Amino acid sequence: MENKGRVDFCTACRKETNFTLQKRNINKRIKDKEYTFYITVAICDECGEEMSISGLIDRNIQEVDTQYRDYENIVSIDDIERLMKIYKIGKAPLSLALGFGEVTITRYLSGQIPSKEYSVIMKKALSSPAFMKQKLNENKDKLSPAAYNKAWNAATQLEMLFSVSNKMLRVISYVFEKLEEVTPLMLQKLLYFIQGESYALNGKPMFSENCQAWVHGPVYPEVYDLFRDFKYNPIDDARFAILEGTEDELSHEERMVVDLVVNTFGEYSGKMLERITHEEEPWKLARKGYADYIPSNEPILMESIGAYYVKKNVEYDFSAEKGIKKYIKDILY
Ligand SMILES: [Zn+2]
């Protein structure tokens, strides 16, 4: 198929020409520090000169801003808006609640770059309702009772919702980012495999929760509560906006564990994953004395998952997708 490309006026060629958008690195000094940013440029297909295209400058300002915030670990405007949304609090009261000046958040929303110190506070508030409550209490006398109560209640609800460990939340968030559609059943099984894979590769569990041997396979009860409303549907809910971005705090090794599981086990349906877990020793051990459809809350101890996956890793090599895929096939067929 022929691609006509994009056309605009080239000042070097003095006519309309096709151009191609390309990435280019630029160096920029900000506050005595040297940064390399990539920007987007339009290159004339005929003469190879850079062309000025409308909208490109705005786009590059945006791109550089985002990259600078990433480099310096500075909270984004989206995150600040998210903060207001999840705690049901306006700009001024949020500012005051966090111990900032009344108009600080307003200035950040219009583009002013937050300091690192304030970024840390906002990021922490975003990922921890408990921290938000602490801040609300510290600055209670600066807020109207209505604003305080509304934010306090929102934080309490979130806290209940997020009763699982931080690590678990980060892993779930990362799984959501990697897989388009995840049902609660599928997520439960993936978490179990992630725990096993973590033992196999890193010799330790990924998170501190123990799962239980329910009728349909291993279940992390806290996670079950979190997503129970979705039943057999893919998980998708604005309440979980708080999870977005938190996967940043997974280490390289931890991400690798999740990547490997998502790229292998993640290709199967929840039902198939359930079948796999039912064939594995940790499940069988925990279900001893229970007939197939008898409910049970017996824990599947993480040590048991660990021992099994360490053993299978020796046999299959779980550090590569190939090894895991072979393991899955052997179990299923
Ligand atoms: Zn040209």
Query: What is the per-residue pLDDT across 261-319, written as a single tens digit (0 to 9) for each?
Result: 999 999 999 999 999 999 999 999 999 988 888 888 999 999 999 999 999 999 999 99
Report CA(136)–ligand 1 centroid distance (Å). 59
Residues 94 and 147 occupy one common structural domain:
yes
Report CA(229)–ligand 1 centroid distance (Å). 58
Residues 210 and 325 occupy one common structural domain:
yes
- Which are the contacts of 270, defined by CB distance < 8 A and separation ≥ 6? 183, 184, 185, 186, 188, 189
Per-residue tokens: 71: 């480099």
Residues 189 and 314 occupy one common structural domain:
yes
Report CA(19)–ligand 1 centroid distance (Å). 8
CA distance 122 to 148: 17
Report CA(57)–ligand 1 centroid distance (Å). 19
Range of the domain at 136: 77-161
* Whether the predicted pLDDT of 2 surpasses 50: no
Report CA(14)–ligand 1 centroid distance (Å). 7
Report CA(3)–ligand 1 centroid distance (Å). 19
CA distance 100 to 96: 5
Residues 142 and 236 occupy one common structural domain:
no
Residues 18 and 117 occupy one common structural domain:
no
Report CA(64)–ligand 1 centroid distance (Å). 26
Report CA(15)–ligand 1 centroid distance (Å). 8
Report CA(159)–ligand 1 centroid distance (Å). 58
Report CA(13)–ligand 1 centroid distance (Å). 4
Contact in structure between 60 and 99 (CB atoms under 8 Å):
no
Task: Supply the CATH number for residue 51's domain.
Answer: 3.10.20
Report CA(1)–ligand 1 centroid distance (Å). 24
Domain-terminating residue out of 72, 87, 116: 72
Query: Which runs of E-coded beta strand occur in the chain?
Result: 6-10, 15-30, 33-44, 50-51, 211-214, 217-219, 299-300
Q: Please compute the mean of the pLDDT values over residues 35-46 and round it to a whole number.
A: 93
Residues 190 and 267 occupy one common structural domain:
yes
Residues 202 and 137 occupy one common structural domain:
no
Residues 142 and 202 occupy one common structural domain:
no
Report CA(10)–ligand 1 centroid distance (Å). 5
Report CA(21)–ligand 1 centroid distance (Å). 14
Residues 254 and 288 occupy one common structural domain:
yes
pLDDT tens per residue across span 6-18: 899 999 999 999 9
Higher-confidence residue of 264 and 78: namely 264
Domain-terminating residue out of 161, 179, 196: 161
Residues 203 and 119 occupy one common structural domain:
no
Report CA(39)–ligand 1 centroid distance (Å). 20
Domain-terminating residue out of 72, 88, 114: 72
Report CA(60)–ligand 1 centroid distance (Å). 21
Poorest-confidence range of 3-7, 33-37, 89-93? Answer: 3-7
Report CA(87)–ligand 1 centroid distance (Å). 52
Contact in structure between 119 and 73 (CB atoms under 8 Å):
yes
CA distance 283 to 298: 10
Q: What is the number of domains present in the chain?
A: 3
Residues 42 and 123 occupy one common structural domain:
no
Report CA(18)–ligand 1 centroid distance (Å). 8
Most distant CA pair in the chain, distance:
84
Say what the pLDDT of residue 131 is.
94
pLDDT tens per residue across span 159-178: 877 678 888 888 988 898 88
Backbone Cα Rg of the chain? 25
Residues 235 and 132 occupy one common structural domain:
no
pLDDT tens per residue across span 125-140: 988 889 999 999 999 9
H helix and E strand count, the chain: 15, 7
- The count of C-alpha atoms lying within 13 angstroms of the C-alpha of 305, restricted to the half-sphere facing its C-beta, is 29
Report CA(156)–ligand 1 centroid distance (Å). 60
Q: Please compute the mean of the pLDDT values over residues 133-162 and round it to a whole number.
A: 91
3 falls in which pLDDT band (50, 70, 90)? very low
Report CA(52)–ligand 1 centroid distance (Å). 11
Distances (CA, A) of 257 to 86, 148, 292, 301: 30, 41, 31, 19
Report CA(37)–ligand 1 centroid distance (Å). 25
